[in-house]
Copies of this chain bind each other. A is one copy, B any other.
């Protein structure tokens, strides 16, 4: 299962009723944060999720609205008595930016490990979660992310029995281990069915539309994308600042076919983005204008 919460939905400047864009995902007892603008820690406190379990923070880029909440969050994570290392990933320069901000958060009870991207589409794995980053097209180097939780095939009891393997060995094979029995080796693929459909969420802000976004949003269970404005006549403005309109995000979704599209990162000049929802659903029916702390549980197809 992936527990997903869009902590904040604002772009550029925070508003009292709209925090800056940040996403939190819980998976297998671990948490991932993507972006961390001012006020992110208050949003986490409001939903009651654990600060201590934040193992990974991914940054799209280093504009203040995506990272200004970091020093305070780090102190709060420290206050929650985390001692395990925390990993941060993002464009080149990440360590320099974070260490510069840490002038006001110097003493932490945990280490920070930095991953700076030197490829355009790097891929990682943490606690069973696949983390793909992909370079998008903003005014500064900026990356989107796709988090994917794969799912193994079903254990085939009949095949295990046919091989004559004792029941005590089944669990190891189910968890990917090779076992030895009566002088022969048995590998998981001998008793496991084909991989089943996993879960995935794609996240992308700030950027102009570009083909790589569609590639990583492809068939995702959830695609979260920026939509600064809903008015067609703001196109020149978003082109100039390398952002996108809500309708452009919907057109990407139309091609990538995720199960749902969540819009976020609204301009402070867009106080009521909900007014655009009906029109946007004509482009992509499963479009949702999100509010702060919009949540969703993504479950495997037959999961309770």
A residues in contact (CB < 8 Å) with B: 12-16, 37-39, 41-42, 45-46, 62-65, 67-69, 71-72, 75-76, 79, 96-97, 100-101, 103-105
Contacts and interface: CB of A to CB of B under 8 A. Distances in A.
9 interchain residue pairs of minimum CB distance:
A100-B103, A64-B104, A38-B72, A68-B72, A16-B42, A100-B100, A16-B46, A68-B71, A64-B71
A97 B104 contact: yes
A103 to B, nearest CB: 4
- State the oligomeric state as a number of copies: 2
A71 B41 CA distance: 16
Given A39-B42, A64-B72, A101-B101, 18 more contacts: A13-B41, A13-B75, A13-B76, A14-B72, A15-B42, A16-B45, A16-B46, A37-B72, A38-B39, A38-B41, A38-B68, A62-B103, A62-B104, A64-B104, A68-B72, A97-B104, A100-B100, A100-B101
23 contacts: A13-B76, A13-B79, A14-B41, A15-B42, A37-B72, A38-B38, A38-B39, A38-B68, A38-B69, A38-B72, A39-B39, A62-B104, A64-B71, A64-B75, A64-B105, A65-B72, A67-B104, A68-B72, A96-B103, A97-B104, A100-B100, A100-B101, A101-B104
A16 to B, nearest CB: 5
Given A38-B69, A38-B72, A45 B101 contact: no
A273 B254 CA distance: 53
Contacts of A42: 14-16, 39
Nearest to A14: B42
Contacts of A63: 104
Contacts of A38: 38-39, 41, 68-69, 72
Nearest to A74: B64
A9 to B, nearest CB: 15
Q: Which of A38, A69, A79 has the most CB of B within 10 A?
A: A38
Contacts of A45: 15-16
Nearest to A13: B76
A37 B39 CA distance: 11
A45 B64 CA distance: 18
A116 to B, nearest CB: 15
A97 B101 contact: no
Contacts of A12: 79
